[in-house]
Amino acid sequence: MSGYFVLTQCAPKRARVHHLPGFNGSFPSEHYSGYVTIDLHHGKRLFYYFVTSEGNPSKDPVVLWLNGGPGCSSFDGFVYEHGPFNFEAAKTQKSLPRLHLNPYSWSKVSNIIYLDSPAGVGLSYSGNSSDYRTGDFQTAHDSHTFLLKWFHIYPEFLPNPFFVAGESFAGIYVPTLASEVANGIDTGVKPVLNLKGYIIGNGVTDEKFDGNALVPFAHGMGLISNDLFEGTKRECKGKYYEPRSSTCESKMVEVHEDIKDVNIYDILEPCYHGPSTWKVTANNERLPPSFRRLGETERPLPVRNRMFGRAWPLGAPVRDGPVPTWPQLLSSNSVPCTSDEVASAWLNDKEVRKAIHAEVQSVTGDWNLCTGRLFYNHDAGSMIKYHKNLTARGYRALIFSGDHDMCIPFTGSQAWTRSMGYKIVDEWRPWMSNEQVAGYIQGYDHNLTFLTIKGAGHTVPEYKPREALHFYSRFLRGKRI
């Protein structure tokens, strides 16, 4: 352990997290958190929470994690997916959630930075509200600035392999940021980051591929009839995302009518995933065991309560131009299908904010899972050109999909990775975890890998934590999954 403490001696003492309200026990590794000011004139400050590896922090990769939205906090990943703790809802209104160590935390095998980006998201903020008008290019630039400053504060981690990772709308954030970092390396920007690759889960990529994914997914999953599928394919000529005729539009209305009450984020889940639903399912002994286990997760606590809703935004792919956030679409601070009460109660508590060195609510505003104060412009276009550029330059890419997510269906990710035109070097095959088939994988040259996770929804580590840690750790080590 002596090497461990030597490693982190450069880390600022004021950033060290010594305890967290709701947790009783010792941290399995060191935690640091706080702000990095990326624009002193505007007072633009991005908040991070850094968890050092429980393995070998001096050698293990450093991974930057970004959640999507746009406008959603990366504490989504910290609280609900692969952070060091599992959060148990508070027993009473006045008490805080209880934190338990997560046996499948991604900090088991990596140093991980959870970043609230862009400014205005989560605990990040600016003294100038004009900074809340942003887009793909500005967000990538700001995140790159953050990284350069962060590694200046934590220089001991510069030699470590570095990866950028994220999910959902981070399908835009990750490749644009990775390109900024790669270009900085090529032009001699200091400090030099040891970028090795990137990871994207159920990510937004390209409006045509993303928009055309829903109909074949719904048909393959038995959510629409074969007659409706064939009729829709005939009338829309395979172009579902932008109906060009009234007959195509009519067919798409029928499709949406059939699937409107299905949980968009995991079609295996009920519309309301509360304790009573778990009990009914678990106690129905008339169902065969294999069916009762459908969608089962090894997470010790239930995944978030989710109610049915439409895909973001309202069933449409992400197009160039202004992108509304969920709160803007609904004129509220909530996100359809997603409950964030546990995270909200914890991150809006004064003692928690003090412990993690976050500013008070009068400065940052309330913490919300997804903010409505951003005005975000999708100005980088399709991400396919970014993927081609990055993989051609030798950076490794893992594109993974929970195969029961209907928000960003795997059919779209499978199609666009295939469209890259790379030679298949690892034919479609099952991959295993805990001696069971955990999903399917196809590998291409230029270090591009597409992988599915069987039975997982939109936020894969939330549904399949063991399997997620398995493929994540092997990819980081460059091992065969």
Q: Map 52-98 to HEC letters.
A: CCCCCCCCCCEEEEECCCCCECCHHHHHHCCCCEEEECCCCCCCCCE
Mean pLDDT of 316-341: 57
At 134, the pLDDT band (50, 70, 90 cuts) reads: very high
Q: Answer with the residue of higher pLDDT: 346 or 315.
A: 346
Asked if 450 and 413 touch (Cβ cutoff 8 Å), the reply is yes
CA-wise closest residue to 50 among 29, 24, 70: 29
The answer to whether the CB of 91 falls within 8 A of the CB of 32 is no
Q: Given CA atoms 254, 258, 259, 260 in this order, what sign does their dihedral have?
A: positive
- Amino acid at site 219: H
Q: What is the pLDDT of residues 143-186, one digit of tens each?
A: 999 999 999 999 999 999 999 999 999 999 999 999 999 999 99
Q: Active site includes 458? A: yes
Q: Give 13's pLDDT tier (boundaries 50, 70, 90).
A: confident
- Alpha-carbon gap, residue 413 to 411, rounded angstroms: 6
Q: Is the pLDDT of residue 94 over 70?
A: yes
- For range 3-17, the mean pLDDT: 69
Distance CA(9)–CA(478), nearest Å, equals 29
Is 42 an annotated catalytic residue? no
What are the tens digits of pLDDT across the range 334-382?
A: 444 456 788 999 999 999 999 999 999 999 999 998 888 999 999 999 9
Catalytic-labelled residue, pool 206, 458, 470, 473: 458
Which superfamily does CATH assign the domain made up of 16-208+379-477 to? Answer: Alpha/Beta hydrolase fold, catalytic domain (3.40.50.1820)
446 or 276, which is more confident? 446
Among 405, 433, 446, 470, the one annotated catalytic: 405
- Would you give the DSSP letter of residue 357? T
* Per-residue tokens: 137: 């290019």
pLDDT at position 320 is: 67
Tokens of 240: 């579902």
Report the pLDDT value the prediction gives residue 294, as an integer from 0 to 100: 45
Q: Report the pLDDT value the prediction gives residue 318, as an integer from 0 to 100.
A: 65
- From the candidates 33, 107, 168, 433, give the one annotated as an active-site residue: 168
Q: Which two tokens stand for residue 428?
A: 């479609």
Give tens-digit pLDDT for 69-85: 889 999 999 999 999 99
CA distance 238 to 102: 44
- Establish whether 405 is a catalytic residue: yes
CB atoms within 10 A of CB 227: 8
If we measure between CA atoms, which residue out of 126, 71, 121 comes closest to residue 377? 71
Token output for 219: 């048909």
